[in-house]
Each structure stands twice: as C-alpha cells, then as structure tokens.
Chains A and B, each alone.
Chain A
Amino acid sequence: MLQSSAVGFGHLAMAAMLQKPGDVYATDSLNAPPQHVTPRAKRVIFLFMKGGPSGIDTFDYKPKLQADDGKELPYDKPRVQFAATGALLGSPWKFQQHGESGIHVSELFPHVAQRIDDICVLNSVHGTNAAHGGAALKLHTGSDTFVRPSMGAWVNYGLGTENENMPGFLTICPTLAHGGVKNWGSAFLPAECQGVPLGVASKPSLDANVKFIENAKWSTEQQRQQISFLNSLNRQHLEQSGPASALEARIHSFELAFKMQTEMPIAQDLSQETEATKSLYGLDDSFTEDFGRQCLLARRFAERGVRFIQVTHSDTNVQWDQHSNLKEGHNKNAREVDKPIAGLLTDLKQRGLLDETLVLWGGEFGRTPVAQGKNGRDHNPEGFTMWMAGGGVKTGIRYGATDEYGYYAEENKMHIHDLHATLLALLGMEHERLTYRFAGRDFRLTDVAGKVHEGLIA
C-alpha cells in the first residue's frame, strides 16, 4: 500500500486514513497531518528508564511511608505479584521542595529538580503486567498479549515525517530484551512506520549507528556513478514493462538512500556542538557521558524533524530493576541520567523547541513501597510515576496521586491506555480515530480503552 509515500520514512498521514490498505498509491500531496484536535506538540522524545524506576524514591513524595518504615502494609497486596515482599520500606533519600511550584523531588535528581517548573509529574500511572517483558510491551505497544504496532510507529503512521531524508522514528541504544524489536516495530502498520535503531543497549552510544549507512568499499563518487548506472538499467526496464509505480518507487528509493547516507552522519556529528552545550549534557563527565550523548543526539534529531525519538537508559543489567540494593542501584542510575535529562530540557527550551516537543520520562512500571528482601523493592505496575515536559502539558504540577504509601494509583488514575490516548491528543490526534484496518478489524493504539486526561493539557 501507499508505495510512493512508502519510499520516504513515513508521511502516511491522512492518505492512509482516507484510503483502505490495499488501495493503490497515494500521492505526496496527501501528507498533511490529521488534525483531529489542535496539536500541541509536533514530536516526542521518550526517555525510557528500563527496569522500572521507583516513583516513591524520586517524584512521588510519601511522608507517611517514611514515618511507617518497617510496619506492615495495612491493606492487601495485589492479586498477582512478581516476587514475595515484606513490610513497608521508607525511602532512603531526602525529599525537598523545588521551584515556584514547590514540588517535592528527592535528592536523586538534583538537576532535574531545577527544571521541575517545566514538568508535569504523572503520579497515578498504572498498568497490568508485573513482569518486565509484558510491561515493556504494554507501555510501548498497548498490548502485553498480542503483537501490536509501537506508539512511535502509530505516531509516524498518523503524522509522517517532517524530513524525507531522515527516518521518522529513531530509537537510540534500545534494549533487545523484553519485547526487543516489538517495542519499536510497526507490526501490521506499513513498514516505513517502524523505528530505526541506532546501536543497542549493550554497547556504548559512541558506537551507535544506523545499519548499512556506510560503505567501506566504494568512494562516494564511485557509489554515485554506480547508482546512476543502476538507474539507467532500471529506467530501461521500466520502459519495457510499461508504467508501474512500484518500479518507479524503487528507483526513487535509491536516491533517498543516498541522501540519507549524507544526512545521518551530519545529524550525528556532535563536533558541531559547543563545549558549553556538551557540558550541559554532561559529556565531559565519564559518569554522564554515555547517556548525555544519547540526549544530545535526540535534540539534534528533533531539530531535523524526526517525529518520535526514543532514548533508552539500559546497560547490560536491567538497570533500574533494584530488587535488592535499592540505594546503590538507584544512586548510580539517577546520577547517569539526571544531568543529561536536565540538560536536554534546558537546551530544548533555550532553542525554542520545548514548546513543540513532548518529552516523556519513565519506565515500564514503578516499585513497591514494601521491601523485597532487606533493601530492595519489587515491580509495581499498580501505581507509578512518569513525567511529561513541553509539548502543551501543564507545567509545575503533579497530576494524579497514589495512595498514602504509593502502592496503588488512586486519584485521576491514568492507565497506560490513557497515557497513550493523552499523548496522541497532545500531537493532535484522537486515539479513537487513529485506526488501521487489519485482519478484518480496525485496530487502535489504545485497543478498546483509553481516556484523554484533559486535566494535564495546558
């Protein structure tokens, strides 16, 4: 379907929604985004904290948890738990109020705390799956049961790219575990909607690159010549076989590939950044350098019109998954990301990009207020914290709340489907109308659920 637009990396847009899949080729003029509602943001940067960072130790201040440290939980634990847990465990970190909003942030995130007035803290997110794989799939695709397109793919399907020479969905250093490719895949959506990975989580971001973007054998000139010879072969073949848009599309795809080969290295060239900028992202500190580079790349991709950029914080461990040694683990993790994230927010803001870029922070679930073992916390999908910044969200607020200990989402409960619905709304799309017909059914990112939380939209 839509072969001619398929040549680029996206811009299906209305075309796809007006035409049923299987229809013949749409034209390029149909790539205007489907403005169901007023769009607040043009793109998304998703800072994915793999493993499940603890809300109650970061952005969900629970004084009663501190007070009742060591006491039994006075209500029932969830029906399905991942691991056995014991009594309440107070947070080992101090919380302090920040900014004009006076929102409490723990000492784990001193730099992000400085930006708290730009942030909308979501304290009542909840999911259904207590295992990493299921929860990561739920967060990325809306389903922990079936293979479904990822949210980045949906966004690209709906909005398309702003820059034909770049992919519309880039995922930097993604993890291959727990859903792997499915978390940035397009499933039944057109192939050009899928995320293009740069590197993997197990390797430093310095080596992150798009596959097959370089050719070691041919010089640029040789390749240029080769492509023009190839074009002449293809043109002649096309002449023989008569008009065929598929053949034309393929001819065009080589031109695009060649342009992309030129564009990507420029987009990734950090030498063009000032020392001050690099330092803002923590590139001058070995602790923050790796994640800082990912964040800086994200900004550069955002500037170039990439619709959905995912930045994954995950090393060779499950990273934020502190079933034990919560303190050491979270200290290390937060230190690696705190400065780069704050740097990204600052940088986007001073370049005037924050208003049109929705930054989303969080993991596949949070962690329990009750202890696992002596000093760890188990997975908690029942109520956890993410946050948004920029892109038309109310800033300097806490939206929703968990119970007094931070176990269950209670006020303005925001299911993952709601998060998706709200994210799409911020991008100008109604989640109930962004559909794709497959196997006899219209599919949505939000399945048959999802509610837009108007309360956090500015």
Chain B
Amino acid sequence: MLTSKFFHSLYLCLALMLCPHSGFAEEADSEGIRFYESKIRPLLLDHCADCHGAETQESDLRLDTPGHINLGGKSGPVVIPLKPEQSLLISALSHEDEALSMPPDEKLPATEIKLLTQWVSMGAPMPDAEVIATRQRIPFNLEEARKHWSFPPLQQLKPNDFDKSYQNPIDHFIFSKLSEQGLTPAQPASKNVLIRRAYLDLIGLPPTPEQVDRFLADESPAAFQNVVDELLASPHYGERWGRHWLDVARYADSNGLDENIAHGNAWRYRDYVIAAFNSDKPFNEFIQEQIAGDLLNGDAQPTHEQLIATGFLSLGPKVLAEGDETKMQMDIIDEQIDTTGRAFLGLTLGCARCHDHKFDPIRADDYYALAGIFKSTKTMESLKRIAKWNEHVIASPEQLEEKVLHNQEIASVQAKIDELKKQQTEKKTVSVDATGENESSEPIPQAKELSVAEQLKELDKQLKELKGSTPELPTAMGVVEGEAKDVPIHVRGSHLSLGRDVRRGVPLVLSQGDPALQNPQQSGRLELANWLTSNENPLTARVWMNRVWRWHFGKGIVSTTNNFGLLGTEPTHPELLDWLAIEFMKNGWSTKQLHRRMMLSKTYQMSSAYDKQNAEIDPENRFLWRGNQQRMEAEVFRDSVLAASGQLDRSMGGSMLHVKNREFIFNHTSKDETNYATTRRSVYLPVIRNNLYVGFSLFDYTDASVPNGDRSTSTVAPQALYALNSDLVLTAAEKLAERLIEQHADDLGLRVQSLYKISYGRLPTHSEIEAVQDYLLNFNSSPTETEESTTQNLKAWTALCQAFLISNEFIYVQ
C-alpha cells in the first residue's frame, strides 16, 4: 500500500525507495482501468495537467501519468486508495479549505468531483505504473546552508590572538575593532555616572545618595567590582534580570487574544524565574527545566520547581474559543515552536508551518518534526470551549495529607447518608411487601421516620459544608507527556490537508547526525532540551550571549536578538560572541560570571560623551566608541519614581491578580477587573494581555504575546501626557517634596543638593541651584493667593520635583 506512513528517511538526501505500485491496482480489474482511462485520465489532463503535468510541476506534483499520481507531491501522496476522505486530491477539489483549493480559479462541476471520488473509492485503479523513485525534498544545498555565520561550531581563539595589554579580553575585541575603523574610545565615565548606570542596569533601581557617597569615597581599585558583586548578590538583581527573561518567555497573567481569562498561577513561573537568576542557576539547566522539567528526574518524581518551569510552554496566548479543536491544537503547537525557536535558537521556525522557510534553510519537514514533539506533549487539559490549559498539582505532603483526610471525612459522611437512605428504602419495601395491598394497615412509626429525615438533613448539611471547604491544592501551569506520535506535513499549514508523516526530530541544518529522535516512546521534549543545551549546538549560547550584551549595552552584537537567520543582521563582533560563549560554557553556564566579565570591562565603563569625529564615522555607535545613552524601560521608570519618592514597597513574590484562576479579566461586559493600585515593584504587577498597565504600554513594554529581546524606544506625546498628568508621577512628586522639606527644613541649598542627588546621583552646579531658586520664586500660585506659605511652598516644591522626575537626565541613563 502506498500510504504516507512508511516514508521516514529524513537524513538521506536521496532516499530511493521503490513504490509498491501493485497496491493501487490490486483490486483493479480491467473495468476499473477502463474507468480510469475513459473518465479519469482525460479529466485530470483537462483540468490539472497545465500546472501538474510534464511541463510544470506545482508542488512537485504531476497528475498526468499513473506513476506520477502514485508518487504524489511535495506533501506526500495525494491519493489514498479506497479513502477519498483522506485523499488530498479529493479534499482540494471541495474548495472547503481556503488554503488548498484546486483548481484554484474555479471549482470543478459536481459531476466531475463525483467521478473522481468514485474512482478513489474504487481503489484508484490504474494500469501498472512505471516505478518512479521518490525522494526527500531538501530545497537547499545543505553544505552551503550550514555555512551561514550562526550555524557553524563556536570558534575558539588561541591565546596568542589576544592583545595582552587588555586585562579583559572584551576590550581586546572592541578596541581593536575601533582602531581598525579609525575610532577613538571614549574616556571612562565619571564615578557618579558609573554607579547610576550599574544600579539601574543590574537591579533596576537608582542608587541612594548614601550609596553614591560610599562609592565615591572608596578609592580602592576594587571599588567598582565591589559594587557589582553587591548588586549581583541583591535579591533585586533577580527581579531586574528575571524580567528580561520574562520578555523572552512572553510571560503574562492572562491569556489575551479572544477570551481574556486569568493565568491565575502564572506568577509561580515568574517567581521561579526571579529565583533562578538570583541563585545563578546554570543557564543550560534553566533551559532544560523550561522545556522538559517534568522529565528530568527520570523515574523519580520531578520537583515542584521543575514542574513550574514547564509553564514556559504553556504561557502563550491561545484562541480558547476556537470551534475547530484540531486547529486550536495546531495553533498552540505553532506558538510553542515559534517561541522555542526565537527564544533559544534565534530562528523564526514558525515560518515553516505552511511551506519551507522562504529565507532560512528550515523545511516544512523540520517544522513538523518539532510539531510532533509538542503534539506528543499535553499542554491542554481540554479543548472544549472555553478550552483549559493543563496545571500541575504542586502540593506539599502536608497539604496532600490534609486533602486525603478531608476526602475521607466526606466519604464517611456520604457513607452514613447512603446507609440511612438504604435503610429507608428497605423499610418502605419491607412495609409494602408485608402489607400487600394495604400499606396503611402497618404504619411506620412516625417519630422514627422523622428522626431519619432529620438525620439525613443534618448529614446533607455537613456534606455540603465539607465539600465547600475542600482544601484547594496549589497548582501551576505546565505541560505533561501526551500520546507519543509523529505528525504529518500539513499542506499550507492546514490540518484539513495532511501529507506524509515526519519523524519527530530537530532541524536538519542544525543537526550533526540524524535529525530524527531515537526515542519513540516519549514525546521527545527531553531530547530536545538536551539538544538545545548541548555543547554541539552553538546557537543557544550565541543567542544568550547576545541577549545579555543587548540588555547591558542597549544594542546586541547581533542587533536582531530573536533572529540569527538569514534575514537577521550579522554580528559586528563575531569573534567576541564566540569567545563569550566558550567562556560561558567553561564557567558552567553562569550568567552572573558573564555580568562580571562584561561590566568590569573598559568597554562597559566608557562615558557616553559625544565626539564629533567619531560620530561622523560611526553615527549609530555600532562599534561602541562610547556608552549608549539608554532610556529607562517602563518598569525601571516606575520603580525609580517610586524609589525616589520613598514609596517603593520592596516585598517579593506572590500573586497580585484580583481575579481567580481561569476567570475573565474582561468578559463581554468590558468591565475592567484589573487593578494596579500598588507601590510594589513593577515586575509583580499583573501582566494583562490586551490591557497592559498604561504606564507599561505607553513606554514600549513588551507586548507580552510574543518573545521580545529587544524592546524599542518610542517617543510619543501620550508619554508626555502621562508624565505631566498621571497620579503616579503627581503623587510621587508630592511625596518627594514632602521628604525633602522634612529633611532640610531650613536649608534651601541642602534641599536642592539632595534633590539632585536623589534624582540624578550628582550634585548641582551653582547656576543650577540659582535656576531652581528662580523657578521657586516665580512659581505661580495666583489662583489661591490666600494659601498658607507652607502649602504654597509644598506646591512649588511638588511642581519642581515633578519636573526633575520627568526630565531627560532622570529617564535617560548615561
């Protein structure tokens, strides 16, 4: 039988196989062949052969000879004998699936479709077809494709390749390139600038005046290293860098898309990420847990942490009311493939859903090899509208014990009820049997009957209460293993047009050996996780090095952080990228080590001062001749404003969602169930897709639906409206003013100095003090002339503080 099932050889470029052509004709008698010759062959020639004939072969398909019909096309066989409903040829004719409707211009007349269907139902009889070799399609030259800069193994540099005058090899790479380009590196930044940069970069909060003073006073050579170490040890580090990862993981506390219901337990994943960064969990382990945490312990139970980590795969936005459940499932899988590809490999694998990738050497085969892995994984508990994602129970032994006891109690009450009911029925039955026709002659004692009813009533009440107070076990979003199964190619991405099966595996162009997985019993996630983090796979580490570089320096070595494919940009410093990656692996995939390495370089510590000559050669600062001035991200701005005004609540972790798991954030009523009234750090504010906190969405926060490793920086007027008129800023300004007035009740000069230190981390110049004094003197409070001078004073200072908090020097990190 010629079916899609038997063709598997993915690795060989030319897998020559003999098509057992007899299959088609097995049942075919001469009448069947006559039917083909008289009705079907002419029909196919008339309507199909223009595009699928000897001259042109759209989708590699020819329909003009029996041999070619047997062979099928790019998507595998088009005719499954006896099964018209499974035959692509027939489904394409129906024009039901937009993606594959043939002939494309006009549907065939119903009579002709009927003939073709009838023919397939007959077993597709044809005269013995000539044997034609079939082959696996590789639409690119594999050797050539593997030469793309991001695919080859990491390039190890020899020690002699380094200029020894640089203590930190990063500087060797950056500065030698600068001199090559005729650029001069900027001077080191001042200590004031450096400490503010380091604080905002590593923990997302500005240094306090005391912290600045301490650093200024420390004249030892290790002063800055000490600051970096302190910051890396601060729990706020995980909040800041964990948030970077949450951008990549498209983390959100609600589903978004069509039915915006609460991810009530997503916060556990968020807290897991923060903790992972704080503990410097090796990054390879971090990835493995997120892809296959539930499988890492072999036969032993996975830890709660490992289960929570798999939430990574569950967090994507889903169309939960999709009526077509198969489509929903494939859409969810698509989201997982796309996210995994971009997050770890910097490849847009999602593009290969409908066809071979237009630009990258990624085939539809590669896509469906991965799709098989995720199809064999259970992400959803139910696909019925509104669909439910899977959750892991992550209860402690005590909680489980409590639940067991509680259930036993329920069972025992239920048993009592059942027993009483049974007695009741028996009594009735007995009484009927005993009395024959005359039931009333032997009445059941009223008192006793009542007491049973009362007992039942009481027990029912108990039961209800018990059921109502059933302890809810904590759960976390995450995936488990499903039924292990390969997935067929979906022609043009449509589940209504299935081609041949593809064995589960990884993309051919990236694999060293056979891309197919060797473990057909399980989904293959474990193998995928191991492959992603193996030393043989250069992409994962390259992508991560580049991300960290981007978050430190404002621009990646590869500026397209999520795209290392052919349409991504090439690295400005490829050797640096590889050197970092090799060192990173040597250091046990330690991200904290990586921070140290980067921040202790001269490159990191350069000033952001402008230089006309350099700017003429390299206006975009691509080669890093100076530090990049970077605008605070949305949450850094909010946290800094709260911190400066002394309002920031530094407590960590937990959920701040005001709706229960799976409940609507917005249902059809448009009633807004979000609540952002808190002074806790921004990382803990619920991330509500489709209705982000406005202070986030205005300032280029991630969309939270797709991986983002490179937030943009827009400047639009609504941001200015927010800065001028929002409660957040107005309240913070007033609190800061109160704080300053209280601290320095009598000394205006000290008060101004304190304002500069808190907001800019530096002292004011004389002329700056004068400008402030002028502003305060001229502060127009005419509408309320009669106000007390203290009130007026507070108002003037509030207006002043607001100007500082929204000024460029505050929001742009030098």
Contacts and interface: CB of A to CB of B under 8 A. Distances in A.
A187 B703 contact: yes
B661 interface: no
Given A133-B321, A147-B317, A182 B256 contact: yes
A404 B298 CA distance: 62
Interface stretch (B57-65, B199-207, B715-723): B715-723
B670 A230 contact: no
B705 interface: yes
Nearest to B771: A232
B558 to A, nearest CB: 12
Interface stretch (A58-66, A111-119, A235-243): A235-243
A256 B342 CA distance: 38
Contacts of A230: 803, 806-807
Contacts of A253: 715-717, 719-720
Contact of B809 (A136, A233, A318): A233
Contacts of A318: 668
A101 interface: no
B780 interface: yes
A264 B568 CA distance: 42
Contact of B724 (A211, A232, A257): A257
A316 B802 contact: no
A137 B720 contact: no
Contacts of A439: 342, 348, 562-563, 706
A260 B258 contact: no
A3 B720 contact: no
A443 to B, nearest CB: 12
B802 A257 contact: no
Contacts of A137: 257-258
Contacts, number: 245
B717 A132 contact: no
A51 to B, nearest CB: 8
A129 B385 CA distance: 14
B34 to A, nearest CB: 33
A241 to B, nearest CB: 6
B632 to A, nearest CB: 12
Given A134-B258, A250-B808, A440-B563, A177 B670 contact: yes
A190 B670 contact: no
Given A177-B670, A202-B671, A241-B814, A219 B703 contact: no
Nearest to A81: B323
Contacts of B692: 181
A440 B348 contact: yes
Interface in B629-653: 629, 631
A79 interface: yes
A172 interface: no
A178 B258 contact: yes
Contacts of B305: none
Contacts of B360: 440
A134 B321 contact: yes
Nearest to A249: B715
Contacts of A215: 724-725, 730
B667 interface: yes
Contacts of A128: 98
A257 B714 contact: no
A289 interface: no
A213 B725 contact: yes
A22 interface: yes
A244 B691 contact: no
A261 B321 contact: no
B670 A132 contact: no
A196 interface: yes
Given A7-B715, A440-B568, A131 B690 contact: no
Contact of B96 (A24, A79, A144): A79
B693 to A, nearest CB: 12
A133 B259 contact: yes
A351 interface: no
B87 interface: no
B426 interface: no
Given A22-B559, A260-B721, A439-B562, A180 B771 contact: no
A200 B98 CA distance: 36
A132 B668 contact: yes
B783 A200 contact: no
A243 B616 CA distance: 12
A325 B639 CA distance: 51
Interface in A7-59: 7-9, 22, 24
Interface string A145-171: 101000000000000000000010000
Nearest to A181: B690
A1 B712 contact: yes
Given A82-B323, A439-B342, A225 B778 contact: yes
A234 interface: yes
A226 B799 contact: yes
A3 B360 CA distance: 31
A181 B688 CA distance: 11
A147 B705 contact: yes
Interface in B658-708: 666-672, 690-692, 694, 697, 700, 703, 705-706
A237 B722 CA distance: 21
A221 interface: yes
B717 A256 contact: yes
A226 B725 CA distance: 12
B806 A221 contact: no
A178 B322 contact: no
Given A134-B319, A185-B703, A222-B780, 4 more contacts: A131-B323, A132-B668, A226-B724, A246-B715
24 contacts: A3-B713, A6-B716, A24-B619, A131-B321, A131-B385, A132-B321, A177-B668, A196-B718, A200-B670, A202-B669, A212-B724, A213-B725, A222-B780, A222-B781, A229-B771, A229-B775, A233-B804, A233-B807, A237-B807, A237-B812, A246-B631, A257-B720, A257-B721, A440-B560
Return the 8 tightest CB-CB contacts between A and B, nearest first.
Answer: A133-B258, A242-B610, A257-B720, A180-B690, A440-B567, A131-B321, A191-B714, A202-B670
Interface of A: 1, 3, 6-9, 22, 24, 79-82, 128-134, 136-137, 144-145, 147, 167, 175-182, 185, 187, 190-192, 196, 200-202, 210-215, 217-219, 221-223, 225-227, 229-230, 232-234, 236-238, 241-244, 246-247, 249-251, 253-254, 256-258, 260-261, 314, 316-318, 321, 439-441
